[in-house]
Structure 1
């Protein structure tokens, strides 16, 4: 099973991924955690370039770098892990590119999707957890900011609207969770979604 977590920076993805992965590990499932960009040597170097505040870049460059990192991650880690029967949880995936570069940067959803077709092949998440949070609240949670986290509030409003637009288009895959709730309630909502997707085999 391939599970992805999405949401604006500060929405609590890292916390919820740890909680859900610990729960699944305790049930003796094989589980692999990855993040985008990153989780391979090449992808981690691309991550450094993308998040360095000194590296101003064109939206097109940003989109190509994310796609390159994704191609490496899919081929070297995600697909082999799924082929071995593992559960893979990924912190961000294609939806991030669609929203950040396609919508917020104005490149267009179709253009960004086409750019990623070679990286993805036929791979698609079984379920995507979208942690939805007001951008002002999310920004207040952030401390040391990288290049993308330093964007203006209006940028993050576009990102949030973009995520909700995608969720409206694919409600069977993208499940929206209110990230303004307490950590435990968010976790319970996330766990319920994943149980339903797995036919409640996590019970």
Structure 2
């Protein structure tokens, strides 16, 4: 059995997360990996409820909904795929919580406590761009949620993602930052791939703790 690896992509709205996830998955498949792409909020009933009510529910209540969906997502989709040896690439994960929910007035400590038992990624990719670039892209694409309708948000998001990167690194999660100001999704994906290194080796009778389990 080959150990699966867990890669997450986060960043402000308009940096190209979904298209980069698709491009990265294609490159990983080209080198022989079995890849499963997913997203948060998830496609489960709980995830769809969370996504559909994010404009009506806010603050601590929304943070709890997002976390509940994440734990369900881990139990029903992410961990089974990792256990099967797949590479899992997720569009939004913990870094987004540390940014979006903080924009919604939720303290970082509450968010970290709420997510204390999640599966940590093997690599957290943070896509970024200049606030002006993000604003232009959102204007052309249209807002997907209430935060993207506030013109002051992009600059705050970029700064909060920098802070989230530092938080993740303190948790022992390798962070890869990629600027998408001028990079196409495929170019961004190629940069990510170059930073990942080889796929995990086969697992034998290793009795060490599960690498995806948060330990104190």
Q: TM-score, normalised by structure 1?
A: 0.84
Higher helix share: 1
Q: Distance in 2 between matches of 1:28 and 1:192?
A: 15
Paired residues, what number? 191
Q: Is the 8 A contact 1:8 1:135 kept in 2?
A: no
1 CA distance for matches of 2:115 and 2:13?
22
How far apart are the structure 1 equivalents of 2:137 and 2:124? 23
Q: How far is 1:98 from its partner?
A: 1.1
Alpha-carbon RMSD: 2.1
Aligned equivalent of 1:129, options 125, 139, 152: 125
Q: Secondary structure at the match of 1:9?
A: coil
Following the alignment from structure 1 to structure 2, what is the Cα–Cα distance between the partners of residues 6 and 47? 16
Pairs within 5 Å for 1:102-113 = 102=102, 104-113=103-112
Alpha-carbon distance in 1 for matches of 2:166, 2:114: 23
CA contact (8 A) 2:13 2:148 kept: no
Q: Structure 1 CA distance, aligned partners of 2:156 and 2:16?
A: 19
In the TM superposition, what are the counterparts of 1:181-196 in structure 2 within 5 Å? 181-183=182-184, 184-195=186-197
- Hey, what's the Cα distance between the residues in 1 that align with 2:43 and 2:80? 14
Unaligned runs of 5+ in 2: 201-216
- Tell whether the 8 Å contact from 1:135 to 1:153 is kept in structure 2 after alignment: no
What CA deviation, in whole Å up to 9, does each residue of 1:164-199 have, x standing for no partner?
112234186111111112214323211111236x47
Q: TM-score, normalised by structure 2?
A: 0.80
Match of 2:153 in 1: 155
